Amino acid sequence: MILSLVEHAGGRPEETSLEALTLARELATATDAALEAVAFGAESAALGEKIGDYGVETLHHVGDERLDTYAPEAWAESIAQLLDATDPEAVVAPGTDRGQEVLAHVGARRDLPMAANCLDVEAGDVYELSRQRWGGSLVEHACLDSDTKLVTVAEHEFSPETAAEPTDTSVQPFEPSLDESAFRVTVDRVEESDETGVSLGEARVVVGGGRGVGDPEDYDKLETLADSLSGTVGASRAAVNEGWRPHDDQIGQTGTKISPDLYVACGISGAVQHMVGCKGADNILAINTDPEAAIMQKADYAVVGDLHEVVPELNDALADER
């Protein structure tokens, strides 16, 4: 059996969890094993209706109300106890902050090896895999040899694909024994971001602004462009460090990884730490005054010019279209 961790928002699976389920199903199919899932919180029971499309036969629903909010050690202890009860060949989690943290705790609790940020996994007694290192700037080939293998899936490197035949998922409550020591770290408050509309990680169009934008007010031009393309605005770390944009907007190694159809990078030089966050974009359009900027080599389309002229022209052209 292959067990996959599913993160969700109010019973709706996160995109990255569907990516992980897609890889988990490939592994299950290759070894003729069942695909099962585990999810936390009262609302996770609703996932049963949604993940059957991905071939999940059984959902282990950990409904303990203390797990409605994130508690990394308690999630990990629950999974460790589920491993004891079900003995899966592998546990597959999304390569999110939570997926990495929880699986690392599971590995520590059961002395199991873990491969993080996998891009490709070939099933067998020993898994042969490739995985991202150094924020995605290096790909490493590795072997994972253990009775139970722990794997996280690099974010936005897989397209979620439903199974050829949907399954009726059986929802099974799982009640781990958790003492207070498992709740040393818990989320006690969540602040909603000011962001409205489509989230950066899931947007089909992202307009990014870097230090070249020059000041916070000039992001209005980028907002207009993003609105007319039904997209959202992101930023480089330089722009965030300047205080022009909130950290939520940061794209890159220490920010959000995006995978839009189109990324319009305005006044961004293309540092490696930025590019690892946007290499999942299908198309990159760079607007930069410097034809030698690194991003100009990496972009699919490049406009050498001042963004303060080019972006308003794009906005006018798009307004004329309407």
Ligand X SMILES: Cc1cc2nc3c(=O)[nH]c(=O)nc-3n(C[C@H](O)[C@H](O)[C@H](O)COP(=O)(O)OP(=O)(O)OC[C@H]3O[C@@H](n4cnc5c(N)ncnc54)[C@H](O)[C@@H]3O)c2cc1C
Q: Can you give the binding site for ligand X, defined by CB under 6 A?
A: 210-212, 236-239, 250-255, 267-269, 271, 273-274, 277, 287-290, 293, 306-308
237 and 263 in contact (C-beta within 8 Å)? no
Radius of gyration of the chain (CA): 21
Token pair of 285, please?
Answer: 């359009």
**Angle at CA 53, nearest 5°, toward 51 and 56?**
55
- Residue 13 CB, nearest approach to ligand X (Å): 26
24 and 91 in contact (C-beta within 8 Å)? no
Nearer to ligand X, 102 or 307 (CB): 307
Q: Which of 202, 195, 227, 199 is nearest to 281 (CA)?
A: 202
183 and 73 in contact (C-beta within 8 Å)? yes
**HSE toward the beta carbon, residue 89, CA cutoff 13 A:** 19
Token pair of 97, please?
Answer: 């902050």
The three-class DSSP label of residue 151 is: strand
- Residue 192 CB, nearest approach to ligand X (Å): 22
- Residue 285 CB, nearest approach to ligand X (Å): 12
74 and 178 in contact (C-beta within 8 Å)? yes
Residue found by looking up tokens 């330089």 in the block:
238
Number of neighbours of residue 318 by Cβ within 10 angstroms: 14
- Residue 70 CB, nearest approach to ligand X (Å): 22
Nearer to ligand X, 140 or 306 (CB): 306
- Residue 195 CB, nearest approach to ligand X (Å): 17
Nearer to ligand X, 81 or 96 (CB): 96
Nearer to ligand X, 36 or 249 (CB): 249
Nearer to ligand X, 64 or 223 (CB): 223
Nearer to ligand X, 205 or 268 (CB): 268
- Cα separation, 318 vs 174, whole angstroms: 53
* H or E segment and range at residue 236: none
- Residue 254 CB, nearest approach to ligand X (Å): 4
Using a 10 angstrom Cβ sphere, with 0-12 exposed, 13-18 middle and 19 or more buried, the burial of residue 95 is buried
- Residue 44 CB, nearest approach to ligand X (Å): 30
Nearer to ligand X, 132 or 253 (CB): 253
